[in-house]
Amino acid sequence: MSNPKSKNRFRKTNLLSIALLFVLILAGGVVRSTGSGMGCPDWPKCFGRYIPPTELSDLPANYKEKYVAGRLAKNQRFAKTLDVFGYSDLARRLREDKSILIPEEFNVAKTWTEYVNRLIGAISGIFLLLTAVYSFSYSDVNKLIPFLSIFNLVLIGFQAWLGSIVVSTNLVAWIITVHLLLALAILAICITTYHLAKVSGRPKLNINPVTHIITLFALVISVLQITFGTEVREKIDAVSTRLQGGYRSEWIKNAGDIFARHRDVATLVLLINLVLYALIRRAFSRHSLQQQIMSFTFLMIALQIVSGIFLSYLSLPPFAQAAHILLASLVFGAQYYLMLNLYQSVSIQGGRK
């Protein structure tokens, strides 16, 4: 169990899992921005196949009716589950949602976009499974590492099930938001286990409590910003549907107060990170890991602001939408890793000046 090669294998696999999760978030952003979420109307297969079709002629004549019936059956089961847990209002809205009855037209580009997203998800799941297996090499050092790695597998299973619900409910807005936030939780656990493995045996740092509080606040604000962003997208989807996909320049104007709230929180994200950067500069040397993380965070925030400008003034181009959610996730990941490294640093130069 204490084999150094096994521990090194865990760290490498864990780090690769983190990278794959960011790729998966990007793929999900591409799916969302191109409207490909229903490119595969069933789950886990795509049009009943492990490799999706490329021609309409490959599908049965009654494919629309078949998959609508399947979605209805799954939604009835999901509504019953919501009733059991006391969410009767949500269950009622799901049962009354007529959009589920509208069949999806086959579109080969959207089908393969969604399929690639699922493929990346499957590969990520395999690496997270390997991470859990290899995590037992640290059971003699820190039992929290294998515990969190196994727990992450449970979350992955729930996330996969929730993905099937996303499809069956025809992309019901609040489920998509939960789906994204759960992805961030899985990412955070991966970052935690990687950090714990790297700092095993290192002394803890003595940092000003104010820095810890500001870091936590910055992280919470980033999660809030991401949540508002998904709500903006939900509102824009409703506007797009109402305008039948046309008049893209009018979408943001009709998004309502949630867009202004999202923009205001973005300003708060920038300001709180400026304060945090000043605190980190005072406490750590220029070459410390903490300052490197903050520099990376600011670069991601700057790029996110640029992508936000593209979204606002270029009528929501799909590439900017996908980039925007990826950059927000990278900011979240960097801030979370910084918070962990304020307790124990993986860098020899991570201490005070």
For residues 228 and 126, what is the distance between their CA atoms, to the nearest angstrom? 31
Domain count, the chain: 2
What is the model's pLDDT at position 1?
Answer: 46
Take residue 284 and report the two structure tokens written for it. 């750590």
145 and 232 share one domain:
no
28 and 132 share one domain:
yes
174 and 254 share one domain:
no
For residues 69 and 56, what is the distance between their CA atoms, to the nearest angstrom? 20
Q: Are 187 and 326 in contact (CB under 8 A)?
A: no
138 and 238 share one domain:
no
Give the count of alpha carbons within 13 A of 260, CB side only. 4
157 and 50 share one domain:
yes
54 and 174 share one domain:
yes
| Residue (of 324, 321, 275, 280) closest to 302 by Cα position | 324
Angle, in degrees to the nearest 10, between helices 257-283 and 209-242:
160
Q: What are phi and psi of 206, to 5 degrees?
A: -110, 95
Q: Which residue is listed with tokens 């069949």?
A: 103
Domain interval for residue 338: 202-353
* Final residue before a domain boundary, out of 180, 201, 222: 201
248 and 326 share one domain:
yes
The pLDDT tens digits along the chain (353 residues) read: 457 888 999 999 999 999 999 999 999 888 877 878 778 887 778 888 888 888 888 887 788 888 878 778 777 887 888 788 787 877 787 777 777 777 777 889 999 998 999 999 999 999 999 999 999 999 988 899 999 999 999 999 888 888 777 666 655 666 777 888 899 999 999 999 999 999 876 777 777 788 889 999 999 999 988 888 877 777 776 666 666 556 566 666 666 677 777 888 888 999 999 999 999 998 888 888 999 999 999 999 999 989 888 877 777 777 888 898 999 999 999 999 999 998 877 644 444 43
User: Looking at the chain, how many residues does it have?
Assistant: 353
CATH number at residue 319: 1.20.120
For residues 165 and 160, what is the distance between their CA atoms, to the nearest angstrom? 9
- DSSP-derived letter for residue 86 is T
217 and 303 share one domain:
yes
Q: Are 324 and 178 in contact (CB under 8 A)?
A: no
* Final residue before a domain boundary, out of 201, 223, 251: 201
Q: Are 84 and 1 in contact (CB under 8 A)?
A: no
String of DSSP letters for 108-169: HHHHHHHHHHHHHHHHHHHHHHHHHHHGGGGTTT-THHHHHHHHHHHHHHHHHHHHHHHHHT
> Dihedral of the CA atoms 275, 277, 280, 284 (nearest 10)?
-150
192 and 229 share one domain:
no
According to DSSP, the residues that pair with 49 across neighbouring strands are 46
* Final residue before a domain boundary, out of 150, 181, 201: 201
For residues 13 and 207, what is the distance between their CA atoms, to the nearest angstrom? 31
| Residue (of 109, 99, 102, 115) closest to 47 by Cα position | 115
Take residue 190 and report the two structure tokens written for it. 């991966």
59 and 142 share one domain:
yes
Take residue 143 and report the two structure tokens written for it. 């039992």
For residues 118 and 102, what is the distance between their CA atoms, to the nearest angstrom? 23
Take residue 160 and report the two structure tokens written for it. 């996969």
184 and 212 share one domain:
no
